[in-house]
Structure 1
Amino acid sequence: MAKSLVCLCLTGKTLAEDVEIVKNYREFIDLVELRVDFLEQDERLKIREFPEMIDVPAILTIRRKIDGGQYIEGEANRTMLFAMGLSFAKEDPKKNFAYVDFEEDFHIPSLEDAAQAFGTRIIRSYHNMTSPVENIVEKFRDLREDSSEIPKIAFMPHRLSDVTKVFKEAEKWKDTEQIVCAMGPLGLPTRILSERLNSYLTYTSPSELMGNLLAIGHTDPITLGKTYRFHSIDEKTKIFGITGYPLKITSSPELQNGMFEKEKLNAVYIPFKSETIDDALDFAKALDIKGFSVTIPHKEAVIPLLRKIDKKAEAIGACNTVVRDGDDWKGYNTDAIGFEKALLEFTGTKDLKGKKVAIIGAGGASRAIAYTIKELGAKACVFNRTLAKARLVAEKYGFEYATLGPESLSRLNKYSDIIVQTTSKGMGSTEPSNQENDPIWFYDFNGKEYVYDIVYSPEVTPVMARADASGCKVCNGAGMLLYQGIAQFELYKKLV
């Protein structure tokens, strides 16, 4: 099968808007899909002209509401629009639509004959907007009514195991042409690794119109091309990645793929979100993933499932990196390495002797941070909403512990030389500090504190902004991410 193509979905209101988008993304795409269902009514009457307005092949699609589109005017009107788009075919095939998308239950012989007569290939599609497809091999067989048609299946996975199943099945259709993709955030691996799914193409959306197909879970073609180096992925490409949940924000793919590119290594690093670490490990095994990062909430849960862990991960009780070890896995903790280097750069010190540190949160990241603070000679107190969890982290290193709330204000005042925020509070938030996005909203800064927030998006979190306004020195987690990522990369590149 030929290499998988990159298709850009055009969901503008006018043809002129769509043409401009094609120009902006031209170097990153192989073809486009004109989504007529998004066009204004008057614009729909001019769709026949569209193939001549661009310099890439185009798919004619008029997607119904029930299939995830916007078209609600009825099948009679939709049939007329298809006829309008396919009529008056030119001798030069570049001036006609290269493909037309008909759903599995849409059979109009006159339209099918017209498409075939003028070299327009039919994509025969099936969309399940709510559930996975149980018998995908049989479904492809049912859709493939004619050898010239390209069957397409798009489905909504409920969990990562639904995506894993499709990758396991892909070998069964490697010698034919078809399109397969999982929708929503869980489906991102199917879009990046469409080559491994033996999929004819992968769909993308322009970043400026991403909201039009939000539920579909597209990425944009520039990210696909630059960050994931889509066109360089082949059967020899080694796969790495990151798992966690909800995994809404991560800069790791950009960091790791950038280092792979710099070192000229045939490897790709992808996100695969999973509610359970068991599903993540099954996915990694099915795709022969060589190593992956582990983030919230799996850093502790993954340890019992690994054959070996390094001394740091064992001492900390949390693992953020997993790599292949023969037929099994070995776990590491590079968070501690990254945090130590970043924190000492931030404070301008060689150690933390004589300092009193507040550790906010008691999750997997806080364990690595508590370990590092102990190694650097500071005293600390772990603050967490659930006191038992704070105690679990603190007692391991002889630290104090307290609940995270106004009732512990005096304790927080005592341990405020350095405040390290380790929770996900404030991640992605651009609002001013409040009780929802600032874990220490009840604390008044005196301007002498060093405030380190391991969150790196946004660049300035609500608690950092509030601390900065009071004269404190503040730092986000970008440095920690970089340094722990470099340590991960050193483990990964040995397996490429």
Structure 2
Amino acid sequence: MGQSQVCVTVTATTTDQLRRQRDAVVEADLIELRLDGVEDLDVSGALQDRLKPAIITCRSIQDGGSFDGGEEARRRIIAEALECGTEFVDIEWDGSPDSRIAAHKSRTVLSYHQFLERPKDLDDRYVAMRATGAAVVKIAVQAKSLMDLAPLATLGQRARQDGERAVIVGMGGPGVASRILANRFGACWSYAGNAAPGQIDPDRLIREFRFRELSDSTEVYGVVGNPVMHSLSPAMHNAGFKAISKDAVYIPLEAADVDDFFNFADVFGISGASITSPFKEDVHSRVRDSDPMGKRIGAVNSLKKEEDGWKAMNCDVDGFLAPLLSRFTVDGWRATVVGAGGVARAASVVLVDSGALTTICA
């Protein structure tokens, strides 16, 4: 069914603002217009003169949105959007028959959201939703770990193999991987914006992560930590991959623990990773081999997948040492290192080896 598309979610408090933000979206394949936060709602005006296909969504508070006008009013909004010619409407699935779906199957995105955890009956829910005949089935569930994404990917790929359109996505920090690697999750499109936990800025998704260039053969690397979304490493590494024309992407991987990352890496074929807090020491004990400095310090910050397992390295030493010794000779200095984590260990070793009288404050 081809490459996953980009759907940009647009939110606003007025119809005029919604239109302006809608028209400012340039690179999306389609747009989701969230009407639930619009105070002076004009459905026809929201859709008028649009340049891209639209999904009209009016999410209730109980389903994670902000519409508080009652179910009948919400149904009228959806009905008016259909009359005005919107390409799709988003209708929440509650397990019961819905005449709107039957009458407009080809224009319905049937959605289910679970903000607490991944439901155990995910497959059964998908089958029931698919049986309605809706054009697209969307399932978005809270991911508490990277491995929560594995069954989502399996379900999404099954949908794609069956020729069905679906968006199966994880929300929250761990779920970011499912948004960037949407193609591997069988998604017909990936939602970008700031309307849901874990959504990514559209420009960042398209440019930094080169979303439109990703395929099943793209090598995947990442920065592993918790939290990790603040890391600037993806911007740096992805710029490097682009500069050397390497078919690879570097993504944030918010793991629950070290086992969570290694299990995810095995399932999704991760080629390598940078390790940040709080996992630098824990990872060291889980790998097949470490470089000499990693063994000495007992902490690592880089992983490479080799045929016989994972090899770990510590690059913090070089990162700390090179700029320091390029300007100073530290032999005989008095130095204080504040902290006792992986980076602090690396700095302490460098200082001691270079002749500094080093005090560690943990």
Same fold (TM over 0.5): yes
Of the candidates 365, 372, 386, which is equivalent to residue 350 of structure 2?
Answer: 372
Q: How does 1:76-115 map to 2 (within 5 A)?
A: 76-87=72-83, 89=84, 96-105=85-94, 107-109=97-99, 111-112=100-101, 115=104
Task: Name the counterpart of 1:48.
Answer: 44
- Is 1:155 aligned with 2:141? yes
- Cα distance in 2, alignment partners of residues 23 and 59 from structure 1: 14
- Cα distance in 2, alignment partners of residues 141 and 343 from structure 1: 60
Task: Name the counterpart of 1:411.
Answer: none
Normalized against structure 1, the TM-score is what?
Answer: 0.69
Task: Name the counterpart of 1:199.
Answer: 187
Deviations 1:123-178 (A, max 9, x none): 11111111113233322111012445211101112222212332344433232211
Task: Name the counterpart of 1:39.
Answer: 38
Residues 113 and 298 of structure 1, relative CA distance in 2, 3 Å threshold: closer
Secondary structure, counterpart of 2:254 in structure 1: coil
| Contact map agreement 1:48 1:86 (CA 8 A) in 2 | no
- Is 1:245 aligned with 2:226? yes
Secondary structure, counterpart of 1:305 in structure 2: coil
Of the candidates 122, 127, 148, which is equivalent to residue 136 of structure 1?
Answer: 122
- Is 1:177 aligned with 2:190? no
- Cα distance in 2, alignment partners of residues 130 and 30 from structure 1: 30
Task: Name the counterpart of 1:360.
Answer: 338
Offset of residue 60 of structure 1? 0.9
Secondary structure, counterpart of 1:302 in structure 2: helix
- Is 1:4 aligned with 2:4? yes
More moved, 74-83 vs 133-142: 133-142
- Cα distance in 1, alignment partners of residues 188 and 313 from structure 2: 38
Secondary structure, counterpart of 1:53 in structure 2: coil
* Percent identity for Structure 1 against Structure 2: 30
Residues 104 and 380 of structure 1, relative CA distance in 2, 3 Å threshold: same
| Contact map agreement 2:109 2:134 (CA 8 A) in 1 | no
- Is 1:317 aligned with 2:311? no
Deviations 1:418-472 (A, max 9, x none): xxxxxxxxxxxxxxxxxxxxxxxxxxxxxxxxxxxxxxxxxxxxxxxxxxxxxxx
Task: Name the counterpart of 2:17.
Answer: 17
Task: Name the counterpart of 1:226.
Answer: 207
Q: How does 1:453-472 map to 2 (within 5 A)?
A: none
- Cα distance in 2, alignment partners of residues 289 and 192 from structure 1: 14
Q: How does 1:276-295 map to 2 (within 5 A)?
A: 276-295=257-276
For 1:10, the aligned partner's letter is: V
- Cα distance in 2, alignment partners of residues 170 and 99 from structure 1: 20
Deviations 1:375-414 (A, max 9, x none): 3221210001xxxxxxxxxxxxxxxxxxxxxxxxxxxxxx
| Contact map agreement 1:167 1:287 (CA 8 A) in 2 | no
- Is 1:383 aligned with 2:347? no
- Cα distance in 1, alignment partners of residues 151 and 281 from structure 2: 26
- Cα distance in 2, alignment partners of residues 314 and 69 from structure 1: 50
Secondary structure, counterpart of 1:164 in structure 2: helix
- Cα distance in 2, alignment partners of residues 343 and 163 from structure 1: 42
Secondary structure, counterpart of 2:250 in structure 1: strand
| Contact map agreement 2:93 2:129 (CA 8 A) in 1 | yes
Offset of residue 303 of structure 1? 1.4
Task: Name the counterpart of 1:438.
Answer: none
Of the candidates 310, 314, 320, which is equivalent to residue 333 of structure 1?
Answer: 314
- Cα distance in 1, alignment partners of residues 124 and 158 from structure 2: 11
More moved, 221-230 vs 241-250: 241-250
Secondary structure, counterpart of 2:259 in structure 1: helix
Residues 164 and 314 of structure 1, relative CA distance in 2, 3 Å threshold: same
Offset of residue 248 of structure 1? 4.3
Offset of residue 80 of structure 1? 1.2
Of the candidates 252, 256, 274, which is equivalent to residue 275 of structure 1?
Answer: 256
| Contact map agreement 1:358 1:380 (CA 8 A) in 2 | yes
Runs of 4+, deviation exceeding 4 Å: none
Residue-pair matches, total: 359
Residues 177 and 130 of structure 1, relative CA distance in 2, 3 Å threshold: same
- Cα distance in 1, alignment partners of residues 159 and 236 from structure 2: 34
| Contact map agreement 2:152 2:169 (CA 8 A) in 1 | no
Offset of residue 114 of structure 1? 5.1
- Is 1:235 aligned with 2:219? no
Offset of residue 75 of structure 1? 1.3
- Is 1:126 aligned with 2:115? no
Residues 114 and 137 of structure 1, relative CA distance in 2, 3 Å threshold: closer
Task: Name the counterpart of 1:61.
Answer: 57
Task: Name the counterpart of 2:68.
Answer: 72
For 1:186, the aligned partner's letter is: P
For 1:35, the aligned partner's letter is: R
| Contact map agreement 2:153 2:186 (CA 8 A) in 1 | no
For 2:140, the aligned partner's letter is: A
| Contact map agreement 1:101 1:125 (CA 8 A) in 2 | yes
Residues 168 and 279 of structure 1, relative CA distance in 2, 3 Å threshold: farther
Task: Name the counterpart of 1:263.
Answer: 244
For 1:58, the aligned partner's letter is: A
